[in-house]
Structure formats: structure tokens, C-alpha cells
Amino acid sequence: EWIFSFLSADKRKTYCLYEAPDEDSLRRAAERLNIPADVITPVDRIDPGIFA
């Protein structure tokens, strides 16, 4: 599930935050949608208040 996306300051890279059960699930979804998933960095927890 897509949660949030943002651009780097130089507007050359896009970063996206997704919720997925594992890295392979995210890679398969990216393949199906034909979107790049060059680097995936797993995290344990995201505080929902960060987006408020």
C-alpha cells in the first residue's frame, strides 16, 4: 500500500513510503505497475504523526 512520496531537494530522485508484508511483495507490485524500486530499505515502524 502506497503511503507517501516526495522529491529530493534537487528534484532528481523520488522517494516513496509503502506498507508491505515483505520486500519481495513490494518488488513484485513494482514490477506489475512498471515502476522502479531501485533501493528498498525496510523499517520496523513509522509514527503516523510524522505526516500530520
Q: Would you say 14 and 27 are in contact if contact means Cβ atoms under 8 Å apart?
A: no
Q: What is the spatial distance between Cα 38 and Cα 47, in angstroms, rounded to a whole number?
A: 24
Parent domain of 6: 2-51
Distance CA 12, CA 21 (A): 28
CA-to-CA dists, residue 45 to 10, 14, 25, 35, angstroms: 27, 21, 18, 24
pLDDT attached to residue 10 = 95
Full-model pTM: 0.66
For residue 47, the model assigns a pLDDT of 73
pLDDT at 25: 93
User: So what's the pLDDT on residue 51?
Assistant: 65
Number of domains the chain is built from: 1
Looking at residue 52, what is its pLDDT? 64
pLDDT mean by block of 10 residues, the chain; 52 residues? 90 89 92 91 77 64
